[in-house]
């Protein structure tokens, strides 16, 4: 038997296979609602203007690529703490490090949680980002699922969320999407966040917050409001942050992990463990993206231009959502949802017919990337959908 014989074949990534099929489809006007990246009206995923300008500035000023430490770019982490949490400083009860994307932040956060409380239960609302369960499992954590969203009625099942948070044991962990829920777009209202924050704090459940789309829902401040409410209410919390969407730097892998603790002494212990875990995982995060974003954030003119472009990206998503919802039916509540994704109640057969008969490509789950449409193609998509239902 060969050494690797015991390995089971893993399923291919369905979304990557979809990219290949879309590319080789010769039909004009084909529509790609698959992979989760922002697109402009021309279907491009552009490098943002301010990011390009910051890269130029960095290229001119950077005089060494010598190693940094496992914490990555400290100025970057400080900037991201302020973007996410407002008027805060690292130190005291808050610590943070740069990570390879939001994925790296989630993995590091999960490993930190597992190191402190081996085998602890993490409550996860479903459906969720398909990479959440394997990341938790890889860190040795147990996931307990509950229903976050009902696709048929297109509603957030808040009663089921609260039932789960009330069933959780003190010391358990709740993984929560900060905004722009992937794959449903169904975010908590501020009133619901208030109830969640109070429940987590009174029941002693550790919030593990995943903020991967700040600025793509309703605005930078509004999209962080729930996370901030939870972190204000709970003495201890873990926040995984991704800059890959709101700065459009996906492949550069830019993120950060923040941990709020109950005391400065806890912060020291937590920080030393984060660094040790980071060292064992990736030694130190890739520098380029973090250095670019730190350069951008240090330049008020670039921050203003980045904000403008991000606002336009968000307005584009909101405009497409409004255009889709106007068609009613299964699309009728899409304007109540936020961010890049909605999850339509479509059978695998309908998804297949949309692809074969109408050149509309989407995930088998019925998840659509709103940015793959435009106000113009929204009508064509709605008509194709109607023809298949």
- In the complex, which residues of this chain contact ligand PMP (CB under 6 A)? 36, 101-103, 129, 177, 182, 210, 212, 242, 244, 250, 255
Which of 226, 200, 199 lies closest to 211 in space, CA to CA?
226
Q: Is 212 a catalytic residue?
A: yes
Query: What is the nearest approach in angstroms of ligand PMP to the Cβ of residue 187?
Result: 12
Query: What is the nearest approach in angstroms of ligand PMP to the Cβ of residue 73?
Result: 16
* SS3 at position 197: helix
Choosing from 245, 291, 325, 371, the catalytic residue is 245
Q: Is 65 a catalytic residue?
A: no
Which of 268, 285, 237 lies closest to 109 in space, CA to CA?
237
Query: What is the nearest approach in angstroms of ligand PMP to the Cβ of residue 128?
Result: 7
Q: Which is nearer to ligand PMP, 177 or 338 (CB)?
A: 177
b/e for 115-130, b at 16 or more Cβ within 10 A? eeeeebbbbbbebbbe
Q: Which is nearer to ligand PMP, 102 or 217 (CB)?
A: 102
Which of 129, 147, 193, 145 lies closest to 339 in space, CA to CA?
129
The size of the chain, in residues, is 389
Q: Which is nearer to ligand PMP, 285 or 382 (CB)?
A: 285
Question: Do 167 and 160 touch, CB atoms closer than 8 A?
Answer: no
Choosing from 32, 172, 187, 210, the catalytic residue is 210
Q: Is 245 a catalytic residue?
A: yes
Nearest residue to ligand PMP, using CB? Answer: 101
Query: What is the nearest approach in angstroms of ligand PMP to the Cβ of residue 338?
Result: 13
- The separation between CA 331 and the C-alpha centre of its own chain, rounded to angstroms, equals 23
> Around Cβ 269, how many Cβ atoms within 10 Å?
13
Choosing from 212, 237, 294, 363, the catalytic residue is 212
Q: Which is nearer to ligand PMP, 174 or 323 (CB)?
A: 174
Choosing from 50, 105, 129, 244, the catalytic residue is 129
* Peptide bond connecting 127 to the previous residue in cis, omega within 30 degrees of 0: yes
Q: Which is nearer to ligand PMP, 79 or 358 (CB)?
A: 79
Query: What is the nearest approach in angstroms of ligand PMP to the Cβ of residue 263?
Result: 29
Question: Do 158 and 192 touch, CB atoms closer than 8 A?
Answer: yes
Interior CA angle at 339 toward 333 and 292, to 5°? 175
Active site residues: 129, 210, 212, 245
């Amino acid at each position: 038997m060969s050494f690797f014989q015991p390995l089971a074949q893993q399923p291919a990534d369905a979304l990557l296979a979809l990219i290949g099929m879309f590319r080789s489809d010769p039909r004009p006007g084909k529509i790609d609602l698959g992979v989760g990246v922002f697109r402009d009206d021309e279907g491009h995923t552009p490098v943002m203007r301010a990011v390009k300008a910051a890269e130029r500035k960095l290229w001119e000023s950077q005089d060494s690529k010598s190693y940094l430490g496992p914490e990555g770019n400290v100025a970057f982490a400080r900037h991201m703490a302020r973007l996410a949490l407002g008027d805060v400083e690292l130190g005291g009860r808050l610590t943070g490090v740069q990570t390879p994307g939001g994925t790296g932040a989630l993995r590091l956060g999960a490993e930190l949680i597992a190191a402190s409380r081996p085998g602890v239960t993490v409550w996860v609302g479903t459906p969720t980002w398909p990479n959440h369960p394997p990341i938790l499992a890889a860190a040795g954590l147990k996931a307990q699922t509950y229903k976050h969203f009902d696709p048929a009625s297109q509603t957030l099942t808040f009663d089921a969320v609260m039932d789960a948070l009330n069933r959780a044991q003190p010391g358990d962990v709740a993984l929560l999407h900060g905004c722009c829920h992937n794959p449903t777009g169904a975010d908590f209202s501020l009133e619901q966040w208030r109830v969640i924050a109070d429940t987590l704090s009174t029941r002693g459940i550790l919030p593990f917050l995943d903020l991967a789309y700040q600025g793509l829902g309703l605005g930078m401040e509004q999209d962080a409001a729930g996370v901030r409410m939870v972190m204000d209410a709970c003495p201890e919390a873990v926040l995984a942050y991704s800059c890959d969407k709101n700065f459009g730097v996906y492949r550069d892998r830019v993120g950060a992990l923040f941990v709020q603790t109950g005391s400065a002494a806890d912060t020291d212990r937590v920080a030393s463990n984060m660094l040790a875990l980071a060292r064992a995982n990736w030694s130190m995060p890739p520098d380029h993206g973090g250095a670019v974003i730190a350069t951008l954030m240090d330049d008020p003119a670039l921050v203003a231009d980045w904000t403008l472009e991000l606002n336009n990206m968000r307005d584009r998503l909101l405009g497409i959502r409004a255009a889709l919802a106007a068609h009613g039916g299964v699309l009728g509540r899409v304007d109540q949802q936020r961010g890049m994704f909605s999850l339509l109640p479509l059978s695998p057969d309908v998804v297949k017919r949309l692809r074969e008969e109408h050149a509309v490509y989407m995930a088998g789950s019925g998840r659509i990337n709103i940015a793959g449409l435009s106000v113009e193609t929204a009508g064509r998509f709605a008509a194709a959908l109607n023809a298949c239902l």
